[in-house]
Homo-oligomer: A and B are copies of this chain.
Amino acid sequence: MTYCVGLCLENGIVFMSDTRTNSGVDNISTFRKMHTWEKPGERAITILSAGNLATTQSVVSLLDERSKTHAERSPDILSAPTMFQVATLVGQTLREVIAANAAGGMVADNGIFNATLLVGGQVGDGQQRLFMIYPEGNFIEASEDTPFFQIGETKYGRPIILRAYDATMSVEEAIKLLLVSFDSTIKANLSVSPPLDVHVYEKDSLKLGRVFRIDGDDPYFQDISAGWGVALRDAFRQLPAFTMPKDA
């Protein structure tokens, strides 16, 4: 499994991804699921990936290679003129890789070669934008109503984001929120694990922001993990007590 989140704020986009990949529980490894591209002053793009690792690595390699060769007339990730076209390009590349591996070139339902991607960033005069890209190559965009996307093991960590997210929160608060969400997921699903990769894209900066990694033994992450358990129990205790109905 995997857990990745892209979260839009008024002042930027925060990306976070875990690093565990597994093929069965007896074959686990650590791989980066966050990939970034930039042309400072012109664009910054981040991709988070969930799904078949061979597929996602292949997509990233193709996007990389094609951005360096500029051999064809088709746009690449460093030249596509808008975020929408970047998302289209990434979607096409994803579809192409899955089809190349899948039997008969078909993108199969629940196919083992499938992957889902989050693509976010900003290009030129455009707004910062965040997309979720499906194995079929099509995609949806985050909006005010749905300002964040999760991929992979999304459920355990969803309630806290739904409850505590606020578009005006600071980047630091957003990272704290995501760490709580990741901690709940890591506690419940063996196949999601630190270290966690973080990229904080600052709105209108048109370059990569802070990119860093949070290890499982990071003191702050440990504080959050232990503190959240205590805080949850306290919050629970403060709720009004249940009294049995008299007629039951």
Contact = CB atoms under 8 A, between A and B. Distances in A.
Nearest to A232: B163
A72 interface: no
A211 B248 contact: yes
A234 interface: yes
A247 B212 CA distance: 9
B164 A236 contact: yes
Given A155-B156, A156-B159, A232-B160, A240 B223 contact: yes
Contacts of A210: 244-245, 248
A232 B162 CA distance: 11
Given A228-B235, A236-B231, A162 B180 contact: no
B235 A220 contact: no
**Most chain B CB inside 10 Å of its own CB: which residue of A188, A220, A235, A248:** A235
17 contacts: A155-B156, A155-B188, A156-B158, A156-B159, A158-B188, A159-B184, A162-B188, A172-B241, A173-B241, A176-B241, A210-B244, A210-B245, A220-B242, A220-B243, A227-B239, A231-B238, A232-B235
A155 to B, nearest CB: 4
A187 B173 CA distance: 23
A99 interface: no
Given A159-B187, A212-B248, 5 more contacts: A156-B158, A176-B242, A177-B236, A227-B240, A231-B239
Nearest to A166: B233
Interface of A: 155-156, 158-160, 162-164, 171-173, 175-177, 179-180, 184, 187-188, 200, 210-212, 220, 223-224, 227-229, 231-236, 238-245, 247-248
A239 B230 CA distance: 10
Contacts of A220: 240, 242-243
A135 B58 CA distance: 39
B232 A176 contact: no
A224 B240 contact: yes
Nearest to A154: B155
